[in-house]
Amino acid sequence: MSETPRPIERIDTHAHFLPDFYREALIEAGHQNPDGMPAIPSWSETDALATMDALGVRTAVLSISSPGVHFGDDASARALSRRVNEEGARLKQSYPNRFGHFASLPLPDVAGAVAEVEYAIDKLGADGVALYSNQRGLYLGDPALRPLYAALDARKSVVFVHPTSPACNCSARLKSVFPQPTLEFMFETTRSITDMVIAGILRDFPNLRVIVPHAGAALAVLTPRIEMMSPLFRCEDEGPPPSMRDAMKQLHFDLAGAPVPNLLREILDLADPQRLLYGSDYPFTPSAGCERLMSALEASPLLTGDLRRDVFRDNALRLSPRLALEYSSLDGDGQA
């Protein structure tokens, strides 16, 4: 970790938690190597707080990573999402100012997901919800999700998107060579966010505040191609498709992963700089990897002055009224 302690002031919008009961559920469902990873990483609240302190993170907004909480049975998924969300609320209450929480939903059970929004956001005070690039084959532009989007739009909710394995089967050999997070997570994010935009979700539900992970994956590179191609395959009576370029200014992007130097330059060219957010991806990125990536972001000449502070903290405060209220009681360095 860094030899010079960092001020504890940053906000991490892409951080995960793995309570013991969730780890057991993963293993029971056959996900002891989630998405082809070598193992489920270890996690404890004590280790998470130590990593946050080393990274200078005041608040980490926790979410459940891929493969989520639905392993094939709606009732079991509803029960597991409820238990996960109550654990997220406990962590927020036990460690004031240190943790936030994006609620898990039992999708593709849409009715169950709407009910869990009402409980997790309205009663538990979750900071938003976590959706996956596909919910057991249901991609983000699917009309079946519109009742959920309506419930989230009414609450002006943050929607944190996380990649998962694609619904389609690719080569078994490639799966053995490349765990899904290596390549497919990036393509999957690009595929599903494009679907969401072209399906008109951002247009029809304008109060949604959508966070795209990993600096937008391949969206910054492919936006000109999507913009060029999408009108060519629509019927004349459908009208023009929503603009992907405009959507890039509307979406929020976390910088988890390895965005420097190339991807950060591209996303700064297309996105609103006040909608870029810091993300560690801990513990799926181990502490030492989080340190290397943090140091690379700190040293990047693309992030200077106010923009660095915006990315590491202030953009998240603008996104979350709850966090902004908490930080209003802290001094300029994020200290109580």
Fold annotation for 10-326 = TIM Barrel (3.20.20)
pLDDT in tens, 179-234: 666 678 888 999 999 999 999 999 999 999 999 999 999 999 999 999 998 888 77
CA gap 182, 49 in Å, rounded: 27
- The residues, ordered by sequence, that sit 6+ positions from 303 with a Cβ below 8 Å of its Cβ are 264, 297, 311
CA gap 51, 266 in Å, rounded: 29
First-to-last alpha carbon distance for the chain, in angstroms, is 24
175 Rama class: left (phi>0) / alpha (psi -120 to 50) / beta:
alpha
Contact 164, 189 (CB under 8 A): no
- In this prediction the pTM is 0.93
As given in the structure block, the two tokens for residue 279 are 């993300």
- Torsion sign, CA atoms 194, 78, 82, 16: negative
> Tens digit of pLDDT per residue, the chain (336 long)?
556 778 889 999 999 999 999 999 999 999 998 877 889 999 999 999 999 999 999 999 999 999 999 999 999 999 999 999 999 999 999 999 999 999 999 999 999 999 999 999 999 999 999 999 999 999 999 999 999 999 999 999 999 999 998 887 765 656 665 666 667 888 899 999 999 999 999 999 999 999 999 999 999 999 999 999 888 877 767 788 899 999 999 999 999 998 998 999 999 999 999 999 999 999 999 999 999 999 999 999 999 889 999 999 999 999 999 999 988 877 555 543
- CB count within 10 Å of CB 269 equals 10
Domain ranges of the chain: 10-326
CA gap 258, 215 in Å, rounded: 9
Which pLDDT score, from 0 to 100, does residue 146 have? 98
